[in-house]
């Protein structure tokens, strides 16, 4: 069996430096001083468990540390205020921020002091991005994907205008180069000027490239790393793409030798958070010869049957007896397992015998190695909870929604249940609107996004607001894809401005410019429309990148000049409204957008000195169409010609 190790594998430079420093500090403190890391120093339980056993505890924030304590700063870094707070509280920091990350902090800090806007391309919940944002006063525009780049254009342009400076673009060290390129292209397409500092670190890309290269030339691939490490999961995904026989193991114990002994050439790669000793253990387990493999399998089997499972272990067994309150499980060990009814999820009215029969295979979690009477206590509920936490982690990493039920209100938010686990929804994340009373939500079931999960502490944080924002984005996408210039759609008048009205066309707002409301001249849209009116509007223009929709309403009425010759003919006497007075006559509107001139000599059967002596704006008058010039679009009208004969004679007599 040939074992080939990937060219780039295991700890990256920054993580190695952080772990070395943590071990060194643990050694120095030798359990006498309090030593912490703020958050997990690395996504690998073997390492964090080991560090915890050496006295390095994990805290969530500096609030949990006090004067004289030592806190190790992770390679992802921390925001500027973290350092200030440590200083104020007299907490000693061991700063292992990766030099590449520290360089980004310096760049954004300098830009911020200069007053220059900052754009960070990366995941806004990733610790590295959170910390970087903290070095520019939390004012950075964070862009996670091309959609967000489009949405941010207006804000970036406004910031550029306000500061008179092109923004500085930096990125999370572990993003893909293609993502950065696509976002820069969008900025360029929208005429956004920027200064780019490509801060992508090659460590991740090198690992992914060498994984693909190795997987394509071996019979089987072993990917070693924590199941909650996203970069290791990504390596497994790549390995599986290029090599059908790929295995994901957390350590040597998980490697099933009988599965891999048939392969001649085996590749091995480890995630950036996998320590060297775990990789070496996996390699040495693979390098024993075949005879030893069979012997080891046999010995493993014997050992396994003698060993009592530890609390937390997941075991498999067979049901040997089903009683009213418990199920007895044979696990191939020297003692049987006991699964009590209160450790099983039972629906109302359901009993253990409804769920289990003798000889059924069963999987459960060990909660006690000995119940005091020689049995091993098992739990199905806790196994489910663990699976549920895994689902939460997966949902968080894939940014998918989960469905929860709101159970109760607590200080600052609500507790929501997801299958067998619960999570907290802060008040500010309960809706995309202001929430006054959390009680109103109790009992409701809703889709939420997972913001944070810490299965070790049984904690999770959800956001309904984030799910709503995604739902709205998706709905908007769907509407955009169904809109075409020229379509006539129904809309609701939402609000007015001096230059028009905003109309909701099924989830998106379009602008109905004042000039598109009526063929005539309007001073304010309210002259024709009311807020809440349901109207048919025509799509005149679409600009998806800028999110702009231009609408038209006047198309509902014919173009006024098209009526001349049909509705309006020379000789017709019609009613009109005086809209403008001039020295030489008055303009009379006979149809919105269709005005005619009543010359001063045509106002009355007498000599008129001043037009305003006879007419006023807004006055409704009868006029006769005396001449139409379609080419110049002019209509001549006469009031005196429209007068009934007797009136005309009386007026003429008065004049004499």
- If the CB atoms of residues 93 and 578 are measured against ligand SF4, the closer one turns out to be 93
How does DSSP classify residue 8? S
Tell me which residue of 126, 145, 44 sits closest to 77, measured CA to CA. Answer: 126
Least Å distance, CB 488 to ligand SF4, is 54
Lay out the sheet containing 56-59: strands in order across.
Answer: 56-59, 35-38, 70-73, 92-95
- If the CB atoms of residues 233 and 640 are measured against ligand SF4, the closer one turns out to be 233
- Cβ–Cβ under 8 Å, residues 294 and 346: no
Tell me which residue of 237, 115, 125 sits closest to 172, measured CA to CA. Answer: 125
Binding region for ligand SF4 (CB under 6 A) out of 196-204, 274-282, 460-468, 584-592: 196-204
Q: Is 429 in the site for ligand SF4 (CB under 6 A)?
A: no
Q: Distance (Å, rounded) from C-alpha 354 to C-alpha 96?
A: 55
How many helices (H) does the chain have, and how many strands (E)? 17, 32
Binding mask 248-287 for ligand SF4 (x = CB under 6 A): ------------------------x---------------
User: Which tokens go with 273?
Assistant: 């958070």
Least Å distance, CB 384 to ligand SF4, is 35
Residue with nearest beta carbon to ligand SF4? 14
Least Å distance, CB 514 to ligand SF4, is 54
Tell me which residue of 522, 367, 393 sits closest to 451, measured CA to CA. Answer: 393
How does DSSP classify residue 74? P
The one among 203, 249, 282, 505 contacting ligand SF4 by CB under 6 A: 203
Q: Distance (Å, rounded) from C-alpha 417 to C-alpha 191?
A: 47
Q: Is 121 in the site for ligand SF4 (CB under 6 A)?
A: no
Q: Distance (Å, rounded) from C-alpha 624 to C-alpha 643?
A: 9
Whether the CA torsion 237, 239, 241, 243 is positive or negative: it is negative
- If the CB atoms of residues 206 and 387 are measured against ligand SF4, the closer one turns out to be 206
Binding mask 576-605 for ligand SF4 (x = CB under 6 A): ------------------------------
- If the CB atoms of residues 200 and 260 are measured against ligand SF4, the closer one turns out to be 200
Binding region for ligand SF4 (CB under 6 A) out of 22-30, 198-206, 482-490, 583-591: 198-206
| Beta strands 500-504; 459-463: pairing state | unpaired
Binding region for ligand SF4 (CB under 6 A) out of 114-122, 135-143, 183-191, 197-205: 197-205
Binding region for ligand SF4 (CB under 6 A) out of 47-55, 96-104, 182-190, 482-490: 96-104
Decide: helix, strand or coil at residue 343. helix
Number of residues that bind ligand SF4 (CB under 6 A): 14
Q: Is 100 in the site for ligand SF4 (CB under 6 A)?
A: yes
Q: Distance (Å, rounded) from C-alpha 188 to C-alpha 196?
A: 12
- If the CB atoms of residues 14 and 309 are measured against ligand SF4, the closer one turns out to be 14
Q: Distance (Å, rounded) from C-alpha 555 to C-alpha 489?
A: 12
Binding region for ligand SF4 (CB under 6 A) out of 6-14, 214-222, 363-371, 567-575: 6-14
Least Å distance, CB 55 to ligand SF4, is 24
Whether the CA torsion 198, 202, 208, 210 is positive or negative: it is positive
Binding region for ligand SF4 (CB under 6 A) out of 157-165, 199-207, 382-390, 579-587: 199-207
Residue positions annotated with a catalytic role: 128
Least Å distance, CB 332 to ligand SF4, is 43
User: Which tokens go with 577?
Assistant: 């409204």
Least Å distance, CB 201 to ligand SF4, is 3
- If the CB atoms of residues 99 and 358 are measured against ligand SF4, the closer one turns out to be 99
- Cβ–Cβ under 8 Å, residues 250 and 233: no
Least Å distance, CB 82 to ligand SF4, is 17
Q: Distance (Å, rounded) from C-alpha 309 to C-alpha 625?
A: 103
Tell me which residue of 57, 164, 127 sits closest to 452, measured CA to CA. Answer: 127
Alpha helix (H) ranges present in 190-289?
A: 202-215, 230-242, 257-260, 276-286
Secondary structure (DSSP) of 514-533: GGGT-SS--SSGGGT--TT-
Q: Is 98 in the site for ligand SF4 (CB under 6 A)?
A: yes
Q: Is 510 in the site for ligand SF4 (CB under 6 A)?
A: no
Q: Distance (Å, rounded) from C-alpha 459 to C-alpha 452?
A: 8
Binding region for ligand SF4 (CB under 6 A) out of 200-208, 248-256, 351-359, 409-417: 200-208
User: Which tokens go with 66?
Assistant: 């006090």
The Cβ-side half-sphere exposure at 306, using a 13 Å CA radius, reads 6
User: Which tokens go with 86?
Assistant: 């440590």
Secondary structure (DSSP) of 121-187: ES-TTSHHHHHHHHTTTT-PEEE-SHHHHHHHHHHHHHHHHHHTSPPEEEE-TTS-HHHHHHHHHHH
Beta-bridge partner residues of 315: 364
- If the CB atoms of residues 126 and 285 are measured against ligand SF4, the closer one turns out to be 126
**Angle, CA 502 vertex, CA 498 and CA 504 arms, to 5°:** 170
Please give the distance of CA 424 from its chain centroid, rounded to a whole number: 19
Q: Is 201 in the site for ligand SF4 (CB under 6 A)?
A: yes
Beta-bridge partner residues of 318: 330, 361
Least Å distance, CB 234 to ligand SF4, is 13
- If the CB atoms of residues 75 and 246 are measured against ligand SF4, the closer one turns out to be 75
Binding mask 11-30 for ligand SF4 (x = CB under 6 A): -xxxx---------------
633: alpha, beta or left? (left if phi > 0; alpha if psi -120 to 50): left
- If the CB atoms of residues 201 and 435 are measured against ligand SF4, the closer one turns out to be 201
Q: Is 72 in the site for ligand SF4 (CB under 6 A)?
A: no
- If the CB atoms of residues 17 and 521 are measured against ligand SF4, the closer one turns out to be 17
Binding region for ligand SF4 (CB under 6 A) out of 98-106, 414-422, 523-531, 627-635: 98-106
Binding positions for ligand SF4, 173-192, rule CB under 6 A: 173-174
Binding region for ligand SF4 (CB under 6 A) out of 94-102, 180-188, 507-515, 524-532: 94-102
Least Å distance, CB 133 to ligand SF4, is 17
- If the CB atoms of residues 169 and 201 are measured against ligand SF4, the closer one turns out to be 201
The one among 75, 132, 388, 429 contacting ligand SF4 by CB under 6 A: 75
The one among 22, 42, 101, 339 contacting ligand SF4 by CB under 6 A: 101
- If the CB atoms of residues 73 and 153 are measured against ligand SF4, the closer one turns out to be 73
Least Å distance, CB 101 to ligand SF4, is 5
How does DSSP classify residue 562? G
Binding positions for ligand SF4, 134-173, rule CB under 6 A: 173
* Residues making contact with ligand SF4 (CB under 6 A): 12-15, 75, 98, 100-101, 173-174, 201, 203-204, 272
């Amino acid at each position: 069996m040939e074992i080939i190790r990937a060219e780039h594998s295991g700890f990256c430079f920054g993580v190695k430096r952080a772990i070395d420093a943590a071990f060194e500090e643990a050694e120095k403190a030798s359990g006498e001083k309090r030593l912490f890391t703020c958050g997990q120093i690395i996504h690998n339980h073997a390492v964090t468990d080991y560090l915890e056993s050496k006295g390095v505890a994990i805290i969530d924030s500096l609030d949990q540390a006090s004067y004289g304590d030592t806190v190790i700063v992770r390679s992802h870094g921390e925001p500027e205020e973290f350092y200030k707070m440590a200083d104020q509280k007299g907490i000693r920091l061991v700063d292992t921020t990766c030099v590449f990350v520290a360089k980004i902090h310096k760049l954004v800090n300098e830009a911020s002091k200069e007053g220059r806007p900052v754009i960070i391309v990366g995941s806004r919940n990733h610790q590295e991005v959170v910390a970087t944002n903290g070095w520019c006063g939390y004012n950075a525009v964070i862009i996670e994907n091309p959609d967000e780049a489009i949405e941010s254009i207006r804000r970036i342009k406004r910031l550029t205008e306000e500061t008179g400076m092109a923004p500085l673009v930096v990125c999370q060290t572990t993003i893909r180069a293609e993502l950065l390129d696509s976002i820069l292209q969008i900025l360029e397409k929208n005429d956004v000027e920027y200064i780019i500092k490509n801060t992508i670190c090659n460590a991740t890309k090198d690992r992914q490239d060498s994984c693909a290269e190795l997987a394509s030339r071996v019979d089987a691939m072993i990917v070693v790393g924590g199941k909650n490490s996203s970069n290791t999961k990504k390596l497994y995904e790549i390995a599986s793409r290029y090599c059908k026989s790929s295995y994901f193991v957390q350590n040597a114990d998980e490697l099933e030798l009988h599965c891999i002994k048939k392969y001649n050439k085996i590749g091995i790669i480890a995630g950036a958070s996998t320590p060297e000793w775990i990789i070496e253990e996996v390699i040495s387990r693979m390098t024993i010869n075949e005879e030893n493999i069979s012997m080891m399998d046999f010995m493993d089997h014997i050992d396994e049957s003698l060993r009592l499972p530890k609390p937390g272990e997941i075991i498999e067994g067979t049901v040997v007896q089903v009683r009213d309150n418990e199920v007895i499980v044979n696990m191939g060990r020297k003692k049987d397992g006991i699964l009590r009814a209160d450790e099983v999820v039972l629906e109302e009215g359901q009993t253990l015998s409804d769920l289990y029969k003798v000889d059924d295979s069963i999987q459960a979690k060990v909660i006690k190695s000995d119940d005091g009477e020689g049995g091993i206590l098992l739990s199905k509920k806790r196994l489910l909870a663990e699976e549920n936490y895994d689902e939460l982690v997966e949902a968080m990493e894939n940014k998918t929604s989960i469905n929860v039920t709101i159970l109760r209100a607590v200080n600052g938010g609500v507790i929501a249940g997801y299958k067998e686990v619960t999570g907290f929804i802060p008040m500010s994340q309960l809706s995309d609107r202001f929430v006054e009373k959390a009680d109103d939500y109790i009992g409701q079931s809703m889709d939420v996004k997972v913001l944070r999960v810490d299965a070790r502490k049984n904690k999770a944080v959800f956001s309904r607001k984030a799910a709503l924002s995604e739902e709205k984005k998706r709905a908007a996408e769907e509407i955009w894809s169904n809109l075409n210039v020229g379509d006539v759609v129904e809309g609701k008048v939402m609000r007015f401005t001096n230059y028009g009205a905003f109309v909701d066309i099924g989830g998106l707002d379009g602008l109905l410019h004042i000039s598109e409301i009526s063929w005539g001249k309007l001073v304010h849209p309210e002259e024709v429309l009311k807020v809440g009116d349901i109207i048919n509007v025509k799509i005149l223009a679409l600009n998806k990148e800028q999110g702009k929709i231009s609408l038209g309403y006047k198309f509902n009425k014919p173009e006024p000049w098209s009526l001349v010759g049909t509705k309006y003919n020379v000789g017709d006497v019609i009613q009109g409204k005086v809209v403008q007075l001039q020295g030489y006559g008055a303009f009379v509107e006979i149809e919105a957008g269709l005005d005619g001139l009543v010359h001063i000599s045509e106002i009355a059967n007498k000599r008129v000195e001043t037009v305003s002596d006879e007419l006023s704006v807004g006055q409704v008058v009868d006029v006769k169409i005396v001449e139409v010039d379609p080419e110049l679009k002019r209509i001549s009208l006469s009031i005196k010609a429209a007068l009934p004969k007797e009136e005309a004679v009386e007026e003429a007599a008065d004049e004499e």
